[in-house]
């Protein structure tokens, strides 16, 4: 059974933060390749399972960030992704 893909919108800066994080790319990089670009907007096309995985890894990386700036950036992205996940239910 094919799972439904959901459109998750991030700005290009947030997308770049995810792409520049090596652990997120190792674990979820394939999810971050399923995109549509639109000006300063990146639309991720994810299943609910993929979104849950991404949320978990972003949370873990935010909790273990080496700088306050990176922690804040990842925490903000986590909040967006978590809100998108809850809106699916």
The residues spanned by each domain of the chain are 6-87
pLDDT band at 2 (very low <50, low <70, confident <90, very high): confident
What distances in angstroms separate CA 70 from CA 51, 73, 77, 85, one per listed residue?
Answer: 21, 5, 11, 22
Q: Say how many C-beta atoms besides its own lie within 10 A of residue 63's C-beta.
A: 11
Would the pTM of this model clear 0.85, i.e. be above it?
yes
pLDDT mean across residues, the chain: 94
- Look at residue 65 and tell me whether its pLDDT is greater than 90: yes
Distance, CA of 4 to chain centre: 17
The pLDDT score that the predictor gives to residue 1 is: 61
């Amino acid at each position: 059974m094919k799972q439904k893909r959901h459109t998750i919108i991030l700005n290009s800066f947030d997308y770049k933060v995810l792409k520049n994080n090596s652990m997120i790319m190792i674990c979820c990089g394939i999810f971050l390749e399923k995109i549509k670009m639109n000006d300063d907007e990146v639309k991720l096309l994810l299943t609910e399972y993929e979104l849950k995985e991404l949320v978990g890894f972003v949370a873990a990386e935010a909790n273990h960030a080496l700088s306050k700036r990176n922690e804040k950036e990842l925490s903000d992205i986590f909040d967006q992704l978590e809100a998108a996940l809850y809106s699916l239910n």
